[in-house]
Amino acid sequence: MVHREENETYRRIKARFWWEGVEKSVKKWVQSCLACQKRSQSLQREQGKSKATSTIFERCSIDAVHIKSGRWKYMVVARDYFSGWPETVGLVKLTAKAVAEWFTSEWICRYGSPKEVTADGGPEFGKKLQDAVKKAGSRIRVTTPYYPESQGMVERGHKQLKDALVKICGEDGGKWKKYLPLATLADRISTKRTTGFSPFELQFGQLPVLPIEIETKTF
């Protein structure tokens, strides 16, 4: 399982295991991770608060990021404003049609219609996506560079996902799409400073069962 920074890694382990000196062990282990040290040089804390919302899946934001490695060139991320829950997909070509079909099947069909969907003014979020959102009964808010807070939450999430992919892929960066579901899981189970809970906890009301809990016997 991909790990995060010291505090988040310690939180996950403490919730499931105990041994004498666990906090020191976690600190030493994370500090020994070369990928962590490289990525932490540019680490920024989550800042600010999302636009007020009090219900999960009431509002979400969609954005895309270009990935230079491999055949799959774009990662599209939809993220719930309240919980931070992400859905992701890797695309070879970024088109409004592809994004609209993905958002309809992987978000609207799973979680229902949000009241509002925020997207930037790029062509990949053009008429086909806007029509799909409106057809679902949702309002779409197309942002511009003049709204500095508009896509901040989802764009901060890009760094978390890319950090996870770097740690998981190692030298196999060209196959990042293969590992995207695992990076997405790591994001879902990571505590958000804005809520004090992970998206998984807010979505399901419990901690996730991780592979290590099945593989490791506790007494």
- pLDDT given for residue 95 in this prediction: 93
Q: Structural domain tally of the chain?
A: 1
- Cβ neighbours for 90, distance < 8 A, ≥ 6 positions apart: 67, 72, 74, 75, 76, 176, 177, 180
Closest C-alpha among 212, 215, 169 to residue 1: 212
The pLDDT of residue 214 is 67
Q: Whose CA is closest to 12, among 23, 21, 46? A: 23
pLDDT more than 70, % of the chain = 68
Output DSSP code: residue 97: H
Residue type, 23: E
The whole-model pTM stands at 0.74
Question: For position 44, what pLDDT does the model report?
Answer: 43
For residue 130, is it within any domain? yes
What integer pLDDT is reported at residue 45 of this predicted model? 41
Q: Give the model's pLDDT for residue 6.
A: 63
Q: Which of 43, 48, 79 is nearest to 63 (CA)?
A: 79
Q: Is residue 188 part of a domain?
A: yes
- Confirm whether 42 is domain-assigned: no
The tokens for 28 are 């030493």
- Looking at the domain assignment, is residue 21 inside a domain? no
Residue type (1 letter), 104: T
The pLDDT assigned to 215 comes to: 63
Alpha helices in the chain (DSSP H): 6-14, 22-31, 34-40, 96-103, 109-111, 127-135, 152-169, 176-188, 199-204, 211-215
| Dihedrals phi, psi of 72, to nearest 5 degrees | -85, 115
pLDDT digits (tens, 9 = 90+) for 51-109: 567 789 999 999 999 998 889 999 999 999 999 999 999 999 999 999 999 999 999 99
Stretch (H or E) spanning 116? strand 116-120
How many whole angstroms separate alpha carbon 149 and alpha carbon 146? 9
Structure tokens at 49: 């608060």
Q: Which of 153, 138, 58, 80 is nearest to 104 (CA)?
A: 138
Q: What is the pLDDT of residue 39?
A: 47
The dihedral over CA atoms of 217, 192, 107, 211, expressed in degrees to the nearest 10, equals -10
Q: Is residue 26 part of a domain?
A: no
Q: Are strands 86-91 and 116-120 parallel, antiparallel or unpaired?
A: unpaired
Domain that holds residue 158: 48-219
What CATH number has the domain bearing residue 206? 3.30.420.10
Question: What pLDDT score was predicted for residue 124?
Answer: 83
Confidence at residue 151, expressed as pLDDT on a 0 to 100 scale: 58
- Torsion sign, CA atoms 25, 28, 34, 35: positive
Q: Is residue 103 part of a domain?
A: yes
Cβ(81)–Cβ(104) below 8 Å: no
Phi-psi region of 133 (alpha: psi -120 to 50; beta: other; left: phi over 0): alpha
Residue 17 belongs to a domain: no
Q: Is 27 inside a domain boundary?
A: no
pLDDT (tens place) for every residue of the chain, 219 residues total: 555 566 666 666 666 665 667 677 766 656 665 555 544 544 444 444 445 677 899 999 999 999 988 899 999 999 999 999 999 999 999 999 999 999 999 999 999 999 999 998 888 888 899 999 999 999 999 886 545 455 566 667 788 898 889 888 887 788 999 999 999 999 999 988 888 889 999 999 998 888 776 666 555
